[in-house]
Amino acid sequence: MSSVWLVGAPAALAAAAFFGAAGLLQHQAAHAVPERVPLRVGLLVELVRIRGFRYGVICAALGFALQILALHAAPLPVVQPILVTGVLFFLLWGTLFLHRPVDPMLVLGALLALVGLSGFLVVAAPTAGSSNIGGVAVLPLGLALAGVVVVCLAIAARVRSENRSIPLAVATAVFYGVTAGLVRSLVTQPYFGIEGLFTHWQLYAVAVVGPLGFLLNQNAFQEGVVGSVAVGIITVGDPMVSIGLGVAWFGDRLTEGPVAVTAQVLLLMLMTGGIVMLTHRANLMAATIRESMERGS
């Protein structure tokens, strides 16, 4: 049996489990501190004092290490569909440790989104292009992505609290996808190493974009009463942004042809439908929780 199934697939599944646990712990911690305006560092200062949040960071680090191991043993089209099951582990851990009842509609929405994304990755089968990008090539798309983040933050400032996690999660997915693209470019440089690490501009971009994405992730968790929405959007959005950047920045190629393109479009529609269902159901649950809290007070 090849290393794909002996090492890659089990490592990816374990990584998804740790990512799901990290999301649950961070979501719980985010609701234990006062609300903060998005991208204010004070939120992290408050969160670091909470033991559950620190455990969540450890789980995320272990998940990342297992993801690296999985990618060394198996190709991306095998690893990524397994990794996106992190949202299902989020729901599972919430059921087991927080004694929440399983909501079939939430699970169905998550499954539709994950099947859509996983199917897209398998059909599209992205093939790697160049690893070299320059600041000039990055600038136009970088500005466009920055514009998307600004729009998301503006929307978050104007919508009702139960919907605020949606634009914040979209913005987080953009940050995470950009971070992944920058890390890919950095570690594949021909002279990458400790002695030349600080000569690459990508390192300084990651040092800014990565922490901002993590901070915005906590804002998304803090706003969302039902964390599966934010987890689902980030889990699905992160690889989609990464794939888009791979095509735009590195010249990656997706499978072409009328049948493949049609299948990709249908699978993206299925993924979108799952996210819509997940969001709608979570909003109904949030309204029920809010009414219950109001009656209790």
**Run of H or E residues at 178:** helix 165-187
User: Two tokens at 254?
Assistant: 């997706």
Inside any domain, residue 295:
no
- pTM attached to this predicted model: 0.81
Domain region containing 216: 3-290
Inside any domain, residue 255:
yes
Inside any domain, residue 296:
no
Q: Average pLDDT per run of 10 along the chain, which is 297 residues long? A: 75 92 91 82 90 95 88 72 83 81 82 87 77 64 84 88 84 88 71 64 84 90 75 85 80 86 92 85 66 57
User: Can you tell me which residue has the tokens 């693209």?
Assistant: 181
Which pLDDT belongs to residue 290? 58
Inside any domain, residue 112:
yes
Inside any domain, residue 26:
yes
Which pLDDT belongs to residue 77? 63
**Run of H or E residues at 288:** helix 258-296
Inside any domain, residue 237:
yes
Structural domains in the chain (count): 1
DSSP state of 189: -
The CA angle 131-217-274, to the nearest 5 degrees, is: 85
Which pLDDT belongs to residue 64? 86
